[in-house]
């Protein structure tokens, strides 16, 4: 990142241990002011621990955490310029919506008077499009409305950073999509830094300016959603972000910027090397990743204009509305996944279960990378 940028969050060689377990292992990263940044990874990767250290609920065992350029070691959560929205909204059932939102204002210094608290709560409700709901109790709201109240409560104090701990996990798919749009709108309007922790790759890809992929307490790659999908740094990232066909083998040779990989079945594949990962060397292990939408499919006796062509049998056909996914069992590589977009009703019923087909792709459609 440009050193002239302002960063709201910075970790410097941060380690967090719980007894003999090291949950976070030497993290160093920066999040620029006004960004929507996500930490994405499977359970136990350290993403929630990282979020809790930003919030002040946990203190690092080693290293330094800075917020808005200032070290925050030993500063308790309620004195940090951050607020958090939890997966379970933690609304007080005995308080009204307005009282829930204004609750944190009581602990500000100087504390606003009651009239100011009511006005600020009303402004926060208007921000999340719940004007007129202040007198209701939480149980009188839908799940999506409760989530908006939790957001309003977090934003009313005008924090430097808003932390989101899997905030949409409890919502159904349609409502989750609506709330993703609401979060993006809010982030643009208020202009503060949002940090999201999630295991949902679609959620992270659709909302974030930048994403950090975490594994075993480490950041494997940080990049924009587009860069993570188009140029993953390793097999782990290619497999975690979206879906990829992954063909493993031994690097036979380097041919300019291309890697020639020999597979266990004796076939050779050639693809450009990913620009974001470690360089591959001859006689090392690597893989070539090919996204399913870049793989073509045709009848067994048709002419499939691809550089790599494999014959196989359709094992699964999954209709997804805007596209159809085929999982084709091939002799050379096992299952190869193909995704074919819908094209104005053309193509009839496609290929059914058990159909003999060809699948293939061009060498330039793959990316070679480390395991």
pLDDT at 147: 86
pLDDT at 3: 39
pLDDT at 349: 61
Using the predicted structure, report yes or no on whether residue 362 has a pLDDT greater than 70.
yes
Question: Which residues have C-beta within 8 Å of that of residue 298, sequence separation ≥ 6?
Answer: 304, 357, 358
The pLDDT confidence band at residue 256, using thresholds 50, 70 and 90, is: confident
Which pLDDT tens digit goes with each residue over 329-343? 998 899 999 999 987
pLDDT at 344: 60
Q: How high is the mean pLDDT of the chain?
A: 91
Do β-strands 308-319 and 258-262 pair in parallel, antiparallel, or remain unpaired? unpaired
CB atoms within 10 A of CB 266: 8
Which pLDDT tens digit goes with each residue over 9-61? 999 999 999 999 999 999 999 999 999 999 999 999 999 999 999 999 999 99
Give yes or no for a contact between 240 and 287, defined as CB atoms under 8 angstroms apart. no
pLDDT at 90: 82
Give yes or no for a contact between 38 and 195, defined as CB atoms under 8 angstroms apart. yes
Residue 87: how many CA atoms within 13 Å on its side-chain side?
8
The pLDDT confidence band at residue 265, using thresholds 50, 70 and 90, is: confident
Which pLDDT tens digit goes with each residue over 93-147? 999 999 999 988 887 778 888 899 899 999 999 888 899 999 999 999 988 889 8
CA proximity to 10, closest of 27, 25, 22 = 27
List, in order of start, the domains of the chain with CATH numbers: 7-230 (3.40.50.300), 233-371 (2.40.50.100)
Averaged pLDDT for residues 158-167: 91
30 pairs with which residues across the strands? 10
pTM (whole model) above 0.85: yes
φ, ψ (nearest 5 deg) of residue 331:
-70, -35
The pLDDT confidence band at residue 266, using thresholds 50, 70 and 90, is: confident
Using the predicted structure, report yes or no on whether residue 2 has a pLDDT greater than 60.
no
């Amino acid at each position: 990142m440009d050193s002239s940028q302002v960063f709201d969050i910075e970790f410097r060689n941060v380690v967090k241990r719980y007894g003999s377990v090291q949950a976070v292992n030497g993290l160093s990263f920066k999040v620029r002011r006004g960004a929507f940044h996500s930490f994405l990874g499977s359970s136990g990767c350290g993403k929630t621990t990282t979020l809790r250290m930003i919030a002040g609920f946990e203190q690092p065992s080693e290293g330094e955490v800075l917020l808005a350029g200032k070290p925050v070691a030993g500063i308790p959560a309620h004195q940090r310029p951050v607020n958090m929205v939890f997966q379970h909204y933690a609304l007080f059932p005995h308080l009204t919506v307005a009282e829930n939102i204004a609750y944190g204002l009581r602990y500000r210094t100087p504390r606003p008077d009651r009239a100011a608290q009511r006005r600020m709560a009303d402004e926060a409700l208007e921000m999340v499009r719940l004007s007129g709901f202040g007198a209701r109790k939480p149980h009188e709201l839908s799940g999506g409305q409760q989530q908006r109240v939790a957001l309003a409560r977090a934003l009313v104090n005008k924090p430097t950073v808003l932390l989101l701990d899997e905030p949409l996990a409890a919502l159904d798919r349609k409502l989750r999509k609506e709330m993703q749009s609401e979060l993006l709108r809010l982030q643009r309007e208020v202009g503060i830094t949002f940090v999201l922790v999630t295991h949902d790759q679609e959620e992270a890809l659709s909302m974030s300016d930048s994403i950090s992929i975490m594994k075993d307490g480490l950041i494997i790659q940080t990049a924009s959603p587009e860069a993570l999908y188009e140029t993953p740094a390793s097999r782990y990232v290619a497999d975690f972000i979206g879906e990829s066909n992954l063909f493993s083998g031994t690097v036979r040779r380097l041919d300019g910027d291309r890697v020639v990989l020999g597979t266990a079945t004796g076939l050779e594949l050639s693809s450009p090397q990913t620009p974001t990962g470690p360089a591959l060397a001859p006689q090392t292990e690597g893989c070539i990743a090919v996204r399913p939408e870049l793989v073509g499919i045709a009848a067994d006796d048709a002419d499939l204009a691809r550089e790599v062509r494999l014959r196989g049998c359709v094992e699964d056909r999954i209709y997804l509305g805007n596209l159809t996914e085929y999982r084709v069992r091939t002799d050379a590589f096992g299952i190869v996944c193909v995704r074919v977009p819908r094209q104005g009703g053309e193509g009839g019923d496609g290929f059914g279960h058990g159909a003999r087909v060809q699948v293939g792709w061009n060498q330039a459609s793959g990316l070679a990378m480390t395991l």
